[in-house]
Structures are given as C-alpha cells and as structure tokens.
C-alpha cells in the first residue's frame, strides 16, 4: 500500500527536485508491483518489491514545467498490484531567482549566467570601426537597464539558446518592460555594438558552447529591478528571475 508521497512545497520552474514514495507491505507474504505516479502529463513507473511487513521509500527526480500548483498522485488505473487512496502531494511552481554573478542550469540544459546589471540614462551605438554613430536616450521611460549575460548549452546535443526577445525586466511596480534594443525587430535601426559590447543574440550551439552579450531595457526611474526570461514549450511557460 502507498502510504505517502513527499515533495517540496515550492520549486523553481525547470528546477530538478526529488519526490519520495513511501510504500508498505501489510500482508504476510513478499510482494512485487508497479506504482504509476502521475504528475501533470507525465507518469513515473516505480518498481516495488517488499518482504512481509516491510516498508520502503523510493525516490526519483523530476521538474515542474509551469507556474502554479501541480499535484503528484498515484494513478491506480495504471498501477499493478499497488494500491492507495487519496495519496498525493502538492507542488507549487515559483519563479526561479538568480542574483547577479550567479548561474542557473535548467532541466532543459540551458545555463544562464547574469554577469552584471546596471542602469544608465543613455547608450552609445559604436560601429565596427570604433567610431561613435549615435547616442540613444530612452524613448518611453526614464532610464536604461543593461543586463550582461552568458547563455550556454550544457546538454549533449545541438540546441537553440533563449532568444533575446524572450527576456524582460520586472520593476518594483510589478510591471514588465520589454527590450529597448531588439536585434530581431530591428528596434532601433543600428549596426555594430552598444557600449562597446555585442547585443546578445541567440544561436544554435553545440554542447559546451556559450553566447555572451548585453540586453537593454527601458524602465522608469527609482526602480528596483529584476530581470527575467519567459518562454513557451508545448503550451507551458517558465520564467526565470534574478535580482
């Protein structure tokens, strides 16, 4: 019989965490079976083998693909010779926080490192030959936030790193602010570098490769800033914040 399922009450999006399944054999003979544990659209199959009166704890690693509450529970219809009623555990997906100079590696094998975050009231566009082309000031807000970051592929296959336009910053007011300098949307029309640094642009990269650059946002003045990444996979969403 399944006696309980234990998991953290809160986890970061795409952050790996452990789940424990507690099972007891209440009979007088040894028994084997298979426990099917449902979590969202996925099912984990746990092979159970217990002696008479024996109790065991089985564990496995998983991750949550979206914000909000998720339920981990026994799927009795898919289980074999394992029973339990109303046994479940609630897990809440929260934004994954990351401070400057720290890194996070998600379950999708993206390693995101925030090297530095700073605020300034203008940005200089430098062409390829080192001559100043233009000085840009915020068009809609008061200041620029410049985020220096590195994204890498820690997986075993070629994969596409997060796109620049998937990033935003969140101010103290709770509002989200889009890119002020967007290379994909050509906003504004520019060539070369800003502030002597390349604008971050995603690429398909092989394992153990990285791409570095800066992201530039506009914000109101006197804001405490968190920067984040928002993306969608199979109608699910994850957000990574750092501050």
What is the Cβ-side half-sphere exposure of residue 36, based on CA atoms within 13 angstroms? 11
Q: What pLDDT, on the 0 to 100 scale, is given for residue 72?
A: 95
Please check whether residue 31 is in contact with residue 79, taking contact to mean a CB–CB distance below 8 angstroms.
no
Q: Comparing C-alpha atoms, which of 127, 108, 202, 196 is closest to residue 164?
A: 202
Report which of 85, 58, 59 is spatially closest to residue 74, judged by C-alpha positions: 85
SS3 content of the chain, % helix, strand, coil (to 5): 0, 55, 45
pLDDT value, residue 56 = 94
Residue 16, Ramachandran bin (φ over 0: left; ψ between -120 and 50: alpha; else beta):
beta
CA dist., res. 182 & res. 201, Å (int): 9
Residue 97's pLDDT is: 65
HSE on the CB side for 48, CA within 13 Å?
Answer: 31
pTM check: above 0.95 = no
Whole-angstrom distance, CA of residue 242 vs CA of residue 145 = 13
Q: Which neighbouring-strand residues pair with 43?
A: 38
pLDDT at 1: 81
**Cis bond upstream, residue 137 (ω within 30):** no
Domains and CATH numbers, the chain: 2-94 (2.60.40.10), 96-242 (2.60.40.1240)
Q: Would you state the pLDDT for residue 229?
A: 59
pLDDT, tens digit, 9 for 90 and up, residues 23-51: 999 888 898 999 999 998 889 999 999 99
- CA 110-224-180 angle, 5° bins: 65
Spatial separation of the C-alpha atoms in residues 63 and 173, rounded to whole Å: 30
pLDDT averaged over consecutive 10-residue blocks of the chain (243 residues)? 91 86 89 92 92 93 86 91 87 75 78 87 72 76 88 92 78 76 56 71 90 88 67 43 43
């Amino acid at each position: 019989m399944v006696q309980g399922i234990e998991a953290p009450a809160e986890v970061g999006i795409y952050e790996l965490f452990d789940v424990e399944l507690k099972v007891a054999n209440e009979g007088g003979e040894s028994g084997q079976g298979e426990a099917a544990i449902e979590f969202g659209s996925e099912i984990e199959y746990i092979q159970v083998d217990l002696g008479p009166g024996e109790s065991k704890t089985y564990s496995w690693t998983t991750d949550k693909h979206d914000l909000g509450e998720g339920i981990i529970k026994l799927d009795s219809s898919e289980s074999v010779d394992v029973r339990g009623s109303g046994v479940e555990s609630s897990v809440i997906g929260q934004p994954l926080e990351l401070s400057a100079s720290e890194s996070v590696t998600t379950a999708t094998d993206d390693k995101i490192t925030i090297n530095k975050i700073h605020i300034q009231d203008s940005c200089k566009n430098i062409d390829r030959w080192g001559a100043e082309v233009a000085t840009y000031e915020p068009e809609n807000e008061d200041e620029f936030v410049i985020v220096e970051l590195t994204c890498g592929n820690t997986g075993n296959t070629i994969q596409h790193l997060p796109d620049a336009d998937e990033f935003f910053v969140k101010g103290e007011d709770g509002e989200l602010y889009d890119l002020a300098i967007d290379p994909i949307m050509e906003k504004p029309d520019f060539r070369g570098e800003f502030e002597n640094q390349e604008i971050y642009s995603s690429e398909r990269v092989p394992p153990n490769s990285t791409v570095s650059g800066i992201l530039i946002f506009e914000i109101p003045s006197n804001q405490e800033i968190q920067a984040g990444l928002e993306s969608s996979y199979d109608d699910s969403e994850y957000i990574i914040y750092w501050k």
